[in-house]
Structure 1
Amino acid sequence: MSYANIQMFMEKLKQLMYCNDIPVINNPSIICERPQFQILYEELDSTIQTIFNHEDQDLHNFEEVRKVKKRFKAAAEEAEDIVDVFLSTVHCRSNRFFPRSDVFQPSLHLEVAMSSIESIKKEFMTLSIDNMKMDSSLRTDRLQTQSSGTSHTRNSRGSKKLLENVVVGFDRDAEIIRDKLVEDGKHRDVVSIVGMGGIGKTTLANKVFTDPYVVYHFHVRGWVTVSQTYDKRDLLIQVLSSIDDQLELEKATDCQLRAMLHKHLMGKRYLIVIDDIWSIEAWDKSQLFFPDDNTGSRILLTSRLTEVASHAKSHGLIHQLQHLTEEESWKLLCEKAFQEDECPEWLIEPGKQIAKNCHGLPLSVVVMAGVLAKEPRSEDVWLKISCSFHSYIASDEKGCLETIALSYHHLPPHLRDCFLYLGGFPEDYPISSPRLLWLWMAEGFIQEDGSQSLKEIANSYLMDLVDRNLLIISKWYAWGDVRRCKVHDLVRQVCVEKGKEENFFLKIDSPPSNNLCEVITTYKKRRVVTNQEMHIMSPSLPTTPSVQSLLCFTRKTTLTDIISKFFPSFSLLRVLSLEKCRLLYFPPGLALLVHLRYLYIWLSSFPPSICTLWNLQTLIVKTSSSPMVLPSNISNLVNLRHLRCNADLYLPSVGKPLNLEFITKVELGDGVDNFKKCFPRIKELTSTLYSDKEKDFEVLHYLQILTLMGSVEREFRRGAPNLGKNHIRIGFPETLKVLTLVRCGLPWSDMSIIQSLPNLEALILEDNGFEGTLWETGEDQFQRLKVLRLKKLNIKQWKASSINFPCLERLRVVNCVHLEEIPLELGDISTLESIYILNCDASLLVSLQRIRNEQDDVGNYELKIKVDGRKMPSCVSKHDD
């Protein structure tokens, strides 16, 4: 149990002591035990104040202090288990669902646990502080190291700079592969990149894939990562998504997916990258989806196995990727560790030794750069890393794992659990960033500091792992937040191995020889991750539950039936993720898991019984039904902060306000007056607008991100699809930072309301979010607007000046086919970094070229302008003299 988890346990105790409006805990059997909860809370609080507030001892990490803290956390964990088993028993009996509730103790026995906590506190107080004093210089060094490695606050721009792809030593390789891909030849051909893990195969493939000439040469480009497990459906979805991310693929059958891919590729010159393929069989199956119709199409394949590439090629090239030279390794290390700064002279010698010890493996260099970037720029520190580096480097792949393990050992304590957790996700799994942060919160990894929200702290943890090159960001939200991230195969392997060493989780990657409950009992792990079908094969059940987190990544499972039928084995579950398990109904036994903090589940309807899970912080629901009607007792979920659903959520009425901070696609029924009555603490809100009723969001004083969506499916039934024509008044709070309007049809005259918002940083208008052919921005300013995105609008003329957008950094215009030009003065905005245009009118390109030329004339070559994915170059030739 981490310190953050102890904090979470104490919050639960406070609710048990004082909260009378939660039906599940407002029970006589629980109320009569409030004195014991009070005593336990006070004992925990007193011990925390004693043990964790001695900064000097904690800083020096003395063995005695470490052992005492470990024992205290174990005692607190035991106390929480006792409390949770007691609560499960009370809830079980009151529901009369499980007749064998006598397997648990019906009363609360905390005496032994509290006695242990008290003795631990006394033992700590008797420790001789004098025997644990350290030299003042060492203390100073440790303070510097800690301050440099454990800061929660991240600079967003600095973090993004670390993410920029620094490609060193691949120029010649890229040229060879590009020339082979675009050479004459009508038959479909295969070019392969082969090399060991971490040598840069994917990086090189991406460099070629995004090369401007390659982009120009091929009509269609797609990317798929196969990895060790071939999955036909996953391959089809990946390729189609990379070709067109607007396609609706989830409900399509395999045959429909194959037909869609054939339609996109047939008769066109395409380039498909098949990344990280491991077997000949996988190649034989996957290549069937890519037609050979004499158009000069190519497949670029990456693999660690030469035999796979040899089998796949016809007349193509097998390019064996070589290691970096020492000079290239040193250059890459400097660019990643120092970014735009130069390496100090006193670090060059140890730095070059570290680069040399990487043996030319780019992954090793990048990971080590992440380690060095977080360490003080001290010659002694770098020499120490350099001297100990030899034991971590070997000539094979295992050596690279040890290199990454070195990065793990340099992680501050608050990041280690977050890092190990990444090993639970399947290989090449696209991790949703919001979901990952919610999981970290539910697991108790996030330590509150009083000055930031849990989300802000969790996001700083994520960016810290990114800065250390242990986590890769694969997709951004338009406003700059992380949307998806992924883990490199070798980094994930380290997570898995270290997770096993630390008893962090039990991974079940092959069918267990015995039943799941026995497996959990045998290994006594708190977390179980599986991608296998689970069964119960014997009636024997453990009477003492242990598992607290269960993440299942298989598509079909009987797991929910197991949990429902054999509830005592899973009664302490805090996290239950069943994201691929399609359920026809909500199993009654799941309603007994009152300790759940995170639940991801498929449902056909929203059952009232789910609202007994009063500890829930995050609820993610997937469904094929629309809309999902929320039950009137949803207010009982007093701890619920995040509610996400892929369908519309309809709230007909509400008994009392919810504490939600995040909710998607919600529509209020006639029994609800306004949003504040339902969600007074909401920070991120997506709302569907089906009626012409006034929408006043001004009263939501915490709202930062708002998405408003007009209806497509129901507009013909409701009769008021275009909200703008019906003069809808929509009020916005001054706290708003991100606003997205989709299908709202508002008149451009209403833009003055949005322009007046003092904190707005991102504005996204899509699918006639605003309607009309002329947008005049007038003299008003968007005071802090950094991101402006216009997509599928019927606008023809846009009259604006640089004065209107004093802080604009990124402008994106997509599928605005009638827009005649981009206002020329926008190029004069000093903060503007990029303009991205996709599928727009030819006349608009003329205005872009004028912007490009004008900015070149004043020496602004930094402004990036892209049209249909191709960079519009600066006219630097004018200034060559």
Structure 2
Amino acid sequence: MKARHQIGKEIQDLKKQIIEVSDRNARYKGRETFSNAKNATVDPRALAVFEHALKLVGIDEPKAELIKLLTNEDGVASTQQHVKMICIVGSGGMGKTTLANQVYQELKEKFKCKAFISVSQNPDMMNIFRTILSEVSCQAYASTKAGTIRELIGKITNVLAHKRYFVVVDDIWAVDTWDVIKCAFPITCSGSIIITTTRKSDVADLCRSSCSGCIYNMRALDVVHSRQLFQRRLFDSNEDCPPNLQKVLDEILKKCGGIPLVIIAISGLLAITERTEHMWNQVKDSIGRALERNPSVEAMIKILSLSYFDLPPHLKTCLLYLSIFPEDSVIEKRALIWRWVAEGFIQKDGRYTTYELGERCFNELLNRSLIQVAWTNEYGKVESCRVHDIILDFIISKSIEENFVTLIGVPYITSRTQIKVRRLSLQVDEEGNSIRKTGMVLSHVRSLNVFGYSLEIPPLSEFGHLRVLDLELCHQVVNHHITNIGRLFQLRRLNLRWTEVSELPKEIGHLCCLEMLDIRGTQVQELPSTIVNLGRLVCLLHESSVKFPNGIEKMQALEMLGEVNVYRQPFNFP
């Protein structure tokens, strides 16, 4: 009877888990359906088209640069043999549409044929070509009907043949879309101009190459223009920011990173907040929560959501994983990819290694401007990245919503008690934090990541299903913290870099699933003999002085190995 009762309880638990997974799946499908549906509200990008030039700040310099690239010294469009093309690229909210429209308004009267069209994430190609035909031919939209897209392209080409034209194609999301749209524009019409805007660098490269054009990378607003835009949105023309709010204002502007849409959204949030230092500090510290709850930042959420919901499922997972890192972290590319691999986000392909596939995911997020380059090597190869504070806040809100990551020690983020934690990120200062006080269930934790200084790290015996253990830069971690490491049979990644560990336990040989081990910067001088039993170890990073045991040739899966000092190795070292 006792055994039957236990089995019955486990069945009930399984049913409950199935219901949770089903509900989560329904939420994802619901969001995808909503993202494909037509918006009931006005797209913020459309509003940018009609923004009056007097309200814009920081636009004069980039506008002048683009006009100089597109015209001769006398301000007349160049009469070179082919179309002149510029592709404006940058992340959502940077002002690409606004800049393109300002240039368009400045130059359009010099062209008989002109058009400004927005493509968007899910383009209606028939509608796009009808709009182009309507604008370049100066006829009513209703009279542009045609049987097929090919017929519309033919009509547009006939109208533009041997004429100078100026066309802006705004917000291109896919290379396939541009491959079709470009067919409508004759590239031999001298003196003609095409401007495109996109968030993706691969799309920008394609647009540029199709007309031998150039790419213009959007720059964030400097401090002066950021402050100017902020004050215009929050204060009257004859009013300055009060002296007691200057410091917190500078901190808020730093958090905004010079992104116009973010500045506008945050200033809108402060417009309904009491003008005291305490209240403004609360807004500054709770911007992440504001992203999730406050209607005054709906425009920013819409921009970020467009990028987020455009991601395929595996890239969404890789992006959400970035929420484990503290704000302003510089994230090493190689370490991040190995984390993804250990978590099972990257599925092995016969043609490529898991690392190569992970690198493709990294590059895709970079192309979509969801992560930013932090450092490149002397060959121009990206070595590390960072996540903009506002994008990180957005990712965190999504991760908490899906119970993807649990954060401890992050201000204004409170974790629910008695939940099954999947990924745990400890971000605490020297005062420390006790996980036990939260009442969390740790037995289902897949990933434990500790950042900064933690007075208390739970015993490894409490983590039965751990796949990733990352203790990098935790100087309080010593040998006894990894005593029970051999019990973590599912562990795939172990990072002890820059800890005070001086010896790896022999039980490490029991980790039959371990794929990545990093002991750089530790006191470890010799690897235990059982290390050769790690048949699935792909990456082993260590100091050059580390001594290897006999039998290292058994580790057939190794793809990446640190520098080895042969004078420290056994005589028969391979």
Question: When the two structures are superposed, what TM-score results if normalisation uses the length of structure 1?
Answer: 0.33
Structure with more relative contact order (C-alpha pairs < 8 Å, separation 6 or more): 2
Question: When the two structures are superposed, what TM-score results if normalisation uses the length of structure 2?
Answer: 0.49
